[in-house]
Amino acid sequence: MSNNILEAKFFACKQSQELAQKIVSAYGTTLGNVITSTYSDGEYQPSFEESVRGRRIFLIGSTNPSADHLMELLLMLDAAKRASARHVTAVIPYYGWARQDRKDKSRVPIAAKLIAKMLETAGATRIVTMDLHAAQIQGFFEKPVDHLFASTVFLPYLKSLNIDNLTVASPDMGGSKRAYAYAKAMESDVVICYKQREKANVISHMELIGDVTGKNVVLVDDMVDTAGTLTKAADLMIERGALSVRAVCTHPVLSGDAYNRLEKSKLTELIVTDTIPLRQECSKIRVVSCAELFADVLKSINEYKSISSKFLM
């Protein structure tokens, strides 16, 4: 049967060109040719410049705001569907808008659910993503979702550092499950920060649950946006007697004054993946690529092989 399967093709959205190039290099192929035409009013139209009829294609693009990134992926999905692609897999390293995964007050949208439906309507037959803000977002899809964990690439790096007196920390209650998984793998203790927000991106109060005296702490989170939580948590832990504080965050959103906060913070190092390209250099940021992980998973998907060995948490 496999002899009758045409080779998969890969295409990249503009915002994920660098990561997509790394993925296809690790896979052992090249990116397909897609051209985007832009009208004077800002409207744009992607066009596949090669046949995708009967092929499995992988469209690689993170959907971090602005909405243009999401719109580009939706248009490419629609184009692939109308060009008679056999399977269209949306490879979304960072699934944007995922923080709106529930109604936390009256008269607000559930954006993560809305975007799931938009992706399926546009033509996605499968979703591959990494470290969703909430794992239950997978349930918003009617199509298969492969939810990868950045711990697959982070844990080998952390172990290579040979950190003594290690303690894993979660910057909030919601990330405690992730912190416990890392702690189990690293055979370390766990502490948790309890925070209260005044409003979005503004922390009014933070407390620490656990002892970090004489410890080297690794904060674990799925994303870093303004870096307010991380830097405040690092300062608090140093005040409570920690020897050093590192942070491991999958998605480097890094908006607003984040880079300046990081440079001035007591964090020793911020370790991130390349799901989102960095906007500028920062002496405290270390990037660990997730390209080989995605390449291995996409190859297994194309060859109808199990990917369960890649779910290291």
Q: What angle do CA 136, 137, 142 make, to 5 degrees?
A: 105
d(CA 115, CA 119): 6
284 as an active site residue: the answer is no
Q: Are the C-beta atoms of residues 87 and 28 closer than 8 Å to each other?
A: no
Residue that the structure tokens 């690790």 belong to: 26
Task: Tell me which of 9, 113, 195, 284 is the catalytic residue.
Answer: 195
* Contacts of the segment 67-73: beta carbons below 8 A, 24+ positions apart: 69/13, 69/14, 69/15, 69/96, 70/96, 70/97, 70/115, 70/118, 72/13, 72/14, 72/15, 72/36, 72/44, 72/46, 73/13, 73/119, 73/122
Strands 189-199 and 202-209: antiparallel
User: Which of the residues are catalytic?
Assistant: 195
